[in-house]
Structure 1
Amino acid sequence: MTGTDPGTSVHFRLRIDGIDLGDWNSCDGLGCEVEVEQHQEGGNNGFVWQLPSRVRYTNVTLTRPLIPDTAKVARMLSTLPQGVTRGTAQIAALRPDRALLVQWGLADVVLVRWTGPSFGPDLSQAATESIELAYNGFLEVG
C-alpha cells in the first residue's frame, strides 16, 4: 500500500471568472454523457450500430453553510439584472490541510440558480446556501 490519501474529508473551492467564491462542503452533479443513437442495419439482425452524437453536461450544484464568503455570491447575484454572461469556472477539491487534490475547469458557465437558507423557529440545523451552474464543457487546468 502506498500511503496516498484517497481524498477523504474533501471540501471544494469555487472560482468564477477569477473571483474566489470560497469553500463549499459538497459538490454534486459534475459530469458529462455522450448521447448514442442506435442504427439497425438491414440484413444484419445480430448487430446494432451505436453512433455517438452529442455530449451533454449535467448542472453542478455546490452547497455550504452561510459564511462570510456568502457576501461574494450576493455581489455576483446583484450583477445578474445587467445581463447574464458566460464565463469560466474552476472547482478544486481540497484536502483538510487545503492541499489541492484535483481541479476541474468549466467552459461557458452560467449561474442558473442560487438557493438561500430557510429560517423558522422549528429549524435547528445550520443555515445553508447552494449555487447551481450550467456549463458547456471542460477546460484544461494548468
Structure 2
Amino acid sequence: MRSQTQHDDPGTSVHFRLQIDGIDLGHFTTCSGLSAQVEVEQRVEGGNNGFVWQLPTRVTFPNVTLTRPLTSDSAKVTRLLVGLPQHVTRGTAQISALRPNLLDVIAEWSLRDVLVVGWTGPSFDPAQSQAATESIELAYHGFLH
C-alpha cells in the first residue's frame, strides 16, 4: 500500500491568513462567500423548439466574510479600520488556506479591487460562555492570476 505524502493529503484547514495590500491581518477560522457566478441570458432560437441558447452576460463575485475569535491580531484590523474614512481605496487581498500547523499553504486566492465593506465586533454577554468573535467583510471584482 502506498503511503500518503503531505501533497496527497486532502485540503483540510483550520485557519485562513488574510493580507490586504501587503498588510498581514492574521489568521481567521472561517472564510465564506469566496465564489464566482456567471449570469446567463436565455435566448430562444426561432424554429428550434428543442434548444435554448445560454449566453453569458456578466460575472459576479459575492462578498467574502472571514471570522475569528478575538486575538492579538484583532488590533491589526482596528488599525486598518481607523484609516478607512480618509483612505477608501480599492486594493488587493490574498487569502491563504493553511494546514493545522499554520505554516503549509493548501491554496491561495488573490483578489483584485478589494474594498473593506464591513466589520462586526464582538458581543459580550455574561450569560453566554462563548468566545468573542469578529468578522471582516470584503467586496471584490475578481481574481488576480
The whole-number CA distance in structure 1 between the counterparts of 2:80 and 2:91 is 12
Match of 2:34?
A: 30
Match of 2:119?
A: 114
Q: Which amino acid aligns with 2:106?
A: L
The whole-number CA distance in structure 1 between the counterparts of 2:53 and 2:84 is 45
Q: Which amino acid aligns with 2:74?
A: T
CA contact under 8 A between 2:39 and 2:57: conserved in structure 1? yes
Match of 2:93?
A: 89
The whole-number CA distance in structure 1 between the counterparts of 2:78 and 2:14 is 25
Deviation of the 1:111 alpha carbon: 0.3
Unmatched tracts of structure 1, length 5 or more: none
TM-score, length-normalised on structure 2? 0.93
Q: Which amino acid aligns with 1:11?
A: H
The whole-number CA distance in structure 1 between the counterparts of 2:107 and 2:139 is 20
Q: Which amino acid aligns with 2:57?
A: S
Do residues 138 (structure 1) and 138 (structure 2) align?
A: no
Unmatched tracts of structure 2, length 5 or more: none
Alignment counterpart, residue 76 of structure 1, candidates 69, 73, 80: 80
TM-score, length-normalised on structure 1? 0.95
Deviation of the 1:15 alpha carbon: 0.1
Do residues 125 (structure 1) and 130 (structure 2) align?
A: yes
The whole-number CA distance in structure 2 between the counterparts of 1:47 and 1:68 is 58
Deviation of the 1:7 alpha carbon: 2.1
Q: Which amino acid aligns with 2:30?
A: S
Q: Which amino acid aligns with 1:122?
A: A
Deviation of the 1:121 alpha carbon: 1.6
CA contact under 8 A between 2:28 and 2:68: conserved in structure 1? yes
Report which stretch shifted further, 19-28 or 78-87: 78-87
CA contact under 8 A between 2:97 and 2:105: conserved in structure 1? yes
Alignment counterpart, residue 50 of structure 2, candidates 24, 32, 46: 46
Residues matched between the structures, number: 140
The whole-number CA distance in structure 2 between the counterparts of 1:56 and 1:119 is 36
Secondary structure of the residue aligned to 1:62 is: strand
Q: Which amino acid aligns with 2:21?
A: D
Q: Pairwise CA RMSD of aligned residues?
A: 1.1
